[in-house]
Amino acid sequence: MLSVYMPIVGLFVLAAAFALFSVTVAPFVGPRRYNRAKLAAYECGIEPVDQPLSGGRFPVKFYLTAMLFIVFDIEVVFLYPWAVANDALGLWGLFAMAVFIGTVFIAYAYEWRRGGLEWD
């Protein structure tokens, strides 16, 4: 019975060995050409700003965008299996998904009202 799973175990062992080998060998065979640009922090293509680690408040728009991503990411994670198993779930599945979509719509309306969808 366990022999059925041996190819999967072998694949995991092979992947772990490759990852360990890559991490171990990279410092020895990789190039070491450091310059000022490579040592600087990367901030999405803009010039890095000197700012203390403890300072600065993030704008509310940052959190609204993060919340929007999480809401719709979770929505997709739940909608895809529901769409696949729609026939088996019947009327109860339709009702449960309607409640879920209603909850997501409330989050969407809150996000819209707070200005999270306005890109200045």
- The domains of the chain, with CATH numbers, are 2-113 (1.20.58)
Which of 4-8, 19-23, 60-64, 100-104 reaches the highest mean pLDDT? 19-23
Mean pLDDT over the full length of the chain: 83
- How many Å apart are CA 120 and CA 62, to the nearest integer? 13
Query: In Å, what is the CA distance from 39 to each residue of 32, 34, 36, 105?
Result: 12, 7, 5, 44
Task: Provide the pLDDT for residue 17.
Answer: 98
- How many Å apart are CA 113 and CA 107, to the nearest integer? 10
Give me the half-sphere count of Cα atoms (radius 13 Å) on the Cβ side of residue 86: 7
Confidence of residue 46 (pLDDT cuts 50, 70, 90): low
52-103: per-residue pLDDT in tens? 555 567 677 778 788 888 888 888 888 888 888 888 888 998 899 899 999 8
Number of other CB atoms surrounding residue 82 within 10 Å: 15
